[in-house]
Structure 1
Amino acid sequence: MSSIDVKGMSTPDETRKPDRTTVEVVGLGDATIARLTLQPGWRWSECIKPVAGTASCEAAHLGYLVAGQLHVVADDGTEADLRSGDAYRLSPGHDAWVVGDEPVVGLEFESKTAETYART
């Protein structure tokens, strides 16, 4: 493996496009990173649940919100608003939705989630 590995997110290795969702994935050695773009009106339970087939999102997320606002509700009742500029970690078991009219753009650094999120 090279000591330097660089790839542009504008030319991802894989792109997934479920309803109101774009997931652009790049592999860097043994790490995988994804850029998620969620359109206004996006809600996990409506757009990704049919793909995932689980009652709530069972992915662990570690990321950074580049743009927009996302509201997250965990299965245990905990709620949070993620805004542009926020780093986040979400445990499995949650729903989320875009707040407002601006798309949400986030970078996902949890390799397993980046590899599998919204994959049919």
Structure 2
Amino acid sequence: MMYLQNKLLAKRQSYELAMQAALKDWRRDPVEFKCPACGSKKVATRPDLRGKNPCTCTTCNHHFDQPTHFVCDCPEPGTGSQCHDCPNFRKLLATVRAIAEELQSHPLYQNHLGRNS
């Protein structure tokens, strides 16, 4: 039982260290509006009273209501209400997972678990 508790604690600590390491390099990707018709980045937006965000492509004059991608505006990853749907947050979690797995495969990590069994 003690071995299992130590293993779970060590795994949690490796993920906490991985999160700290990943947050040092984290940056939110810039938001780019693209026209769904022609793919141009020359898009004009103007919020209206209905709470929608109508967009007009200045290249082909196509009108559409919403941007065709997720808009990330949280100040810190994981704090926003839609973070789990955010591609930036998913990318951060993949980085955290990779760092944690690298930490867990390190010989010192394995030796620590072996001593506490």
Instruction: Provide the TM-score with structure 1 as the length reference.
Output: 0.23
Which structure features the higher share of strand residues?
1
Which structure features the higher share of helix residues?
2
Instruction: Provide the TM-score with structure 2 as the length reference.
Output: 0.23
**For the pair shown, which has the larger CA radius of gyration, 1 or 2?**
2
